[in-house]
A and B are shown apart, each in its own frame.
Chain A
Amino acid sequence: MTETMLKVENLAVDFSTPAGNLRAVDGVSLELAEGETYAIVGESGSGKSVFSRTLINLLAGNGKREGSIEIGGRDIDTLSKSEAKHFFGVDVAMVFQDPMTSLNPVKRIDAQLMEAMRYHLKVSKSEARERAIALLKQVHIPSPEQRMRQYPHELSGGMRQRVVIAMALACEPRLLIADEPTTALDVTVQKSILDLLDELRIERKMSMILITHDLGVARGRADRIGVMYAGRLMEVGKTDDLFADMRHPYTQALLQSIPNPAKRSHTRLQPIPGRPPNLLDPPQGCAFAARCRHAQPDCLNAKPVLEGTSGGSDDHRWACFHPVGTPDGDAALKANLEAGANAGGMSMKEIVGELV
């Protein structure tokens, strides 16, 4: 049994806004072993970015965190001030979404690469320089000595993302959080960046949290997947289990909404109708109920909790009263199709589209 790298328990993040309290992350628990990749998948506004920022202590001034986070066996709330100073950025590091804006435009690459090493590890300038060059080599940047003296605007997008990754790796983190690391890049570069992350993760035995909105990316890269919606985990499980035996209607809808090469050409994509709930005024029941093809009256009244084949390594759980692939779920779908609308009042024709 490998060591647990990250343990999050009942994490909730609230933002106090002028319009009221906004719960961006709601009761998320997950565990991540050493060397594992955990993908968190969800659409825009599902709270996955807030979740990732919370892990590295990057909450905005009006944010408040509840629940515990353990990284490498250390509860981050029990860190002393001086320990915390050299914890974030050292034991845990983060790669951000947009390489065009993640680098300071007025600082040279070397200064940005070396500052964290100089600050956290207290290495000499010449040693930091050597390590920075070695890092650039590791992320496959050609002629790193020249790149070191350049400014970010002199590099291409993919190259910059490599620099950002090198920067995150500077202090040899054990946990890397990649917040949509390829969203701003074009597809060919995407693959090479993801390959690079995989390579580095295996080389360094790092654990990785991969935040993405692309189920395809998650399927190819992650050991385990958590599907997030409106700040809650909807379905979690090992990648293979999850795709082989999809239980949550949201996961199903999400998968149907992305292009699938196995399908006949010119098949229409099936978008998820409606919008995510307004988190300033969250629904009482399941957050997805209004857009869900399985939604029954009980979905509107209570929030389902994560449950399923719990425990062990084949831990596959979902938060649904009428999951896909169960008699109960099939009955719910059938009842809704007959009624023409789900319990939230949304027309089934809109939800199911061509399947009708």
Chain B
Amino acid sequence: MLFILLLIAFAAIVAWIVYSAGPIFALKRFGGALLVLVLVTFGVSAMLSFTTGDESTKQALEELGVSRNAQPCVTALGTGASVENVNECVEDRGLDKNVFAQYADWAKQLVIDRDLGLAFYKNGETLSDTMKQRLPRTAWLFLYSQLTALFLAVPLGIWSAYQAGRGGRGLPKWALPAGVGILLLIGFFSGFRLTSLFAIVIAFAAVYSIFAGGRLADNNTNFLAFALLSIPVFVLGETLRYAFAIERDIYQLTGYQPWSEGIGEHLKSIWLPTLVLGLAATPVYLRLLRADMIQNLQQDFVSVAKAKGMSNSHILLRHVLRPSTVTLITVLGLNIAQLVNGAIVVEFIYDLDGMGSYLIAAFARREFFAVQTIVALVAALFILTNTLIDVLYTAVDPRVKADDER
């Protein structure tokens, strides 16, 4: 079912690309994409073939009566595997063959037999079952977090860029540190929790900035964004987990609930990791959008629109926003790669068994076949999204032609 939906979505995207950028562009792009896919997967295959251990390991394995290249199988089967089991595994995986033969085997099984192979060799769990269970978690987490980031970054970026070119209300500069200090003192002596104090201070700074406006507000927004950018995801994740799930009982660490449990349950089970990943991505988007907006606000056409008497919101949203999103869209496309690797830390902190944590486990168990399959999937997704984004450029800026004859 899910597979069919994905296929339909894929077909729709391809159709749209062919429609809006022409069949030649689509052919070129997808031909190139296929080449990239082959190169990437073969590269992974070649690199993985180097990880069969050093010379002493190989000699030790030979003395045990198994193949010299059996090291991945030994790891995958764990302790207590018999010599026969290991030999069978080596035979199954074709570890004794050369890289090209291994790659051909992998490609044949994936493309012709439509078999994704095993997720874990030892217990015979198939990769398709694992993905059915784990992929939605990572996919939803990623989708929600990107939406959260955009939801925070776009309005803030626009507002910040707008304030950068204005005179503010001229609030006294000492009001911010003074207010923060007083709040901290009151909070400290009334026995507030540290995380509450922190939240209060940030809220006060935000309210002060919104009220003050002008360059000061822009500076404060940037400062907060920069601070957020400097906090590693695991620190942010652990802090928020501590604040919301341990100190208070706002987020339950009950694990992921699928959509079938009801949308409320689903969102309740995933909102905090979403927020963490979203907050981690927000400052990047915010700063990119702000910089582009400020640059475009200097353009003559903004003066013209002002001279026409158009309102500020009209100028910001209808004139400046669209040409300012080019960099943002680019980075958004590049972030697709995070679908698997960026979520690993958050999945680990919040016990969401997603694709990220599976990939780590698969590497640890030397499940090369599955790793290669996942890399291929991520690469395919990456290429598809970025092709989509190339076409989006033409929608954002008509001067850019997707099918650039060079």
Name A residues whose Cβ lies closer than 8 Å to a Cβ of B. Answer: 53, 56, 58, 60-62, 85-90, 93-94, 96-98, 101-107, 115-116, 119-120, 151, 153, 164, 167-168, 170-171
Contacts and interface: CB of A to CB of B under 8 A. Distances in A.
Interface of B: 165-167, 299-301, 303-311, 314, 318-319, 322-323, 396-399
Given A61-B165, A106-B322, A106-B323, A119 B300 contact: no
Contacts of A97: 300
B307 A104 contact: no
28 contacts: A53-B303, A58-B306, A61-B167, A62-B167, A89-B307, A89-B308, A93-B307, A93-B308, A94-B304, A94-B307, A98-B300, A103-B301, A104-B305, A104-B319, A104-B323, A105-B397, A105-B399, A106-B399, A107-B318, A107-B319, A115-B310, A115-B314, A116-B308, A116-B310, A120-B309, A153-B399, A167-B308, A168-B308
Contact of B323 (A105, A153, A170): A105
A89 to B, nearest CB: 3
A151 B165 CA distance: 28
Contacts of B304: 94, 96, 102-104, 164, 167
Contact of A102 (B301, B397, B398): B301
A107 B304 CA distance: 13
Contacts of B399: 105-106, 151, 153
Given A104-B301, A105-B399, A90 B307 contact: no
B310 A89 contact: yes
Contacts of A106: 322-323, 396-399
Contacts of B314: 115, 119
Contact of A61 (B166, B299, B300, B397): B166
B148 to A, nearest CB: 27
A117 B212 CA distance: 34
B398 A153 contact: yes
A199 B277 CA distance: 61
Contacts of A96: 300, 303-304, 307
Contacts of A103: 301, 304
A105 B326 CA distance: 14
Contacts of B323: 104-106
A interface SS class: loop
Contacts, number: 81
B305 A86 contact: no
A89 B309 contact: yes
Contact of A101 (B166, B300, B305, B318): B300
A153 B318 CA distance: 18
A120 B396 CA distance: 27
Contacts of B166: 61
A104 B323 CA distance: 9
Nearest to A97: B300
B interface SS class: helix
A102 B166 CA distance: 22
- Which 9 residue pairs are nearest across A and B when measured between Cβ atoms? A89-B309, A101-B300, A94-B307, A89-B308, A104-B301, A116-B308, A88-B309, A151-B398, A102-B304
A70 B311 CA distance: 22
Given A115-B318, A119-B311, 7 more contacts: A58-B303, A102-B300, A104-B305, A105-B301, A116-B309, A167-B304, A168-B308
Contacts of B307: 56, 58, 88-89, 93-94, 96, 168
Nearest to A103: B301
Nearest to B306: A58
A198 B396 CA distance: 38
B299 A115 contact: no
Nearest to A64: B167
A85 B322 contact: no
A61 B294 CA distance: 14
A105 B318 CA distance: 12
A348 to B, nearest CB: 42
Contacts of A98: 300
A85 B310 CA distance: 8
A98 B307 CA distance: 14
A60 B298 CA distance: 11
A94 B301 CA distance: 12
A354 B306 CA distance: 48
A90 B308 CA distance: 7
Contacts of B167: 61-62
A167 B396 CA distance: 23
Contacts of A87: 309
A106 B396 CA distance: 7
Contacts of B398: 105-106, 151, 153
A88 B303 CA distance: 12
Nearest to B215: A61
Nearest to A98: B300
Contacts of B299: 101
Contacts of A85: 309, 311
B37 to A, nearest CB: 33
Contacts of A53: 303
Contacts of B310: 89, 115-116, 119
A87 B307 CA distance: 10
A281 B397 CA distance: 44
Contacts of B305: 104
Contacts of B318: 107, 115
B397 to A, nearest CB: 5
B303 A119 contact: no
A292 B353 CA distance: 82
Contacts of B397: 105-106
Nearest to B307: A94
Contacts of A116: 308-310
A325 B397 CA distance: 59
Contacts of A56: 307
Contacts of A120: 309
Nearest to A87: B309
A97 B304 CA distance: 10
Contacts of B322: 106
Contacts of B309: 85-90, 116, 119-120, 171
> Which of A60, A62, A106, A151 has the most chain B CB atoms inside 10 A of its CB?
A106
A94 B305 CA distance: 10
A248 B218 CA distance: 48
A114 B152 CA distance: 32
> Which of B303, B304, B318, B319 has the most chain A CB atoms inside 10 A of its CB?
B304
A115 B308 contact: yes
A96 B306 CA distance: 12
A101 B295 CA distance: 13
> Which of B299, B306, B323 has the most chain A CB atoms inside 10 A of its CB?
B306
B132 to A, nearest CB: 42
A106 B320 CA distance: 9
B111 to A, nearest CB: 42
Contacts of A93: 307-308
